[in-house]
Every structure is written in C-alpha cells, then in structure tokens.
A = this chain, B = another copy of it.
C-alpha cells in the first residue's frame, strides 16, 4: 500500500507541478511580448507620434468585420443621441448616423420598398470609382488643394477615399512627421463648454 500511495501521490503532484510550470512559462513569454509592445509605443512616442491615437489605430486594425460593424453602429447611435440632446458641440453627424436616420424614415413612410428617392446612387459605387476618388484626392493635393476642399458631398463614400488620397499625398519637412500628427501642436485655449447659448 505504501508503494501505491507514494506512486499516486507523486502522479498527482507531478501533474500539478507540470501545470504550474507550463502556465508560468507561458506567462513569462506573454510578459516578454508585453514588454516589446510597451517599448514600441515608447519608441513611437519618442518620434513624436501620439500613442493614444496609435493605440486606437491598432485596435481598429485588429477588429473583425463584425466588431467593426458593431462599433460603427454604436457610434452612429451615439451621435444621434448627442444631436437630439443638443450636445454635438461642433462635430456634425457622421455619414453613418445620417444614413441611419434616412433608413428609418424610409421604413416609416411605409414598407412600399421605395427605392432611394432621388437620382443618387448611395452606396453603390464600384471599387474603380472609389479608387478614382482616392487618386483624385492625391492629385488635388499635389495641385495645392486643401483638405477642406473635398469635392464629394457628405454621405458619398468617395468622400472618405478622396481624404485618404489627399492625406497620403501630403508631405512633411525632412524626416519629421507632420505637425498635425503631434499632440498639443496648436493647443488653443480650451474652449468654454457651451459656445452656443
């Protein structure tokens, strides 16, 4: 019996020890990688990037399609709530929020499955058209147009593409990152909470 007991005890103990060691090793690897990530952010900060913004970018890049959709939905609803409460303070509704309202209105008016009313062709642009808008943004940038001169209307998917093209074309002096990429670059006086009385 002594033999049996000893052996079984050892078995359970060995198993426990093995589990512990496996986890410890994995945790150490995880910790190392976390270190690397932290270092990378530190390096980015040293070069003038806004780490908070960078974190957001990373988050977005890692989103699945479903998560992105969910996020966009929440953002749109948030904007609608803000608009209804008069809290937009300067930032107009994004396209998703507008679209949401339009869709709700259409359904409201009856389920007669009415096609998009006017002659617009909302959301049905080909990849070529989108790309063309991006190229045009780039060339407009080269020709000195400013980012606020985006020719596409709100709600037009080419609007974002033009922005991308323009941004990707814009330059900077030397190796430096653009001023607009930095924090506090202009740190204007903190605005009063309510501009509109």
Q: Is the interface of A mostly helix, strand, loop or mixed?
A: helix
Inter-chain contact B26/A36, CB cutoff 8 Å: yes
A residues near B (Cβ < 8 Å) are 2, 4-9, 11-13, 15-17, 19-20, 22-24, 26-30, 33-34, 36-37, 40-41, 43-44, 47, 49-50, 52-54, 56-58, 60-62, 64-66, 68-69, 72-74, 77-78, 80-105, 107-108, 127, 130-131, 134, 142, 146-148, 150, 154-155, 157, 159-164, 166-186, 188, 190-193, 195-197
Which residues of the other chain, B, contact A190 by a CB distance below 8 angstroms? 65-66, 69
Known: A94-B94, A161-B196, A171-B8. A80 touches B180 (CB 8 A): yes
Q: With A and B bound together, what is the CA distance between A176 and B16 in angstroms? A: 12
Instruction: Say how far A15's CB is from chain B's closest CB, in angstroms.
Output: 7
Q: With A and B bound together, what is the CA distance between A186 and B103 in angstroms? A: 8
Which residues of the other chain, B, contact A7 by a CB distance below 8 angstroms? 171
Which residues of the other chain, B, contact A6 by a CB distance below 8 angstroms? 169, 171
Inter-chain contact A92/B57, CB cutoff 8 Å: no
Inter-chain contact A180/B104, CB cutoff 8 Å: yes
Known: A54-B19, A54-B20. A148 touches B155 (CB 8 A): yes
Instruction: Say how far A115's CB is from chain B's closest CB, in angstroms.
Output: 14
Inter-chain contact A24/B87, CB cutoff 8 Å: no
Closest to A153 in B: B148
Which residues of the other chain, B, contact A185 by a CB distance below 8 angstroms? 100, 103-104
Inter-chain contact A40/B24, CB cutoff 8 Å: no
Closest to A36 in B: B26
Q: With A and B bound together, what is the CA distance between A166 and B58 in angstroms? A: 35
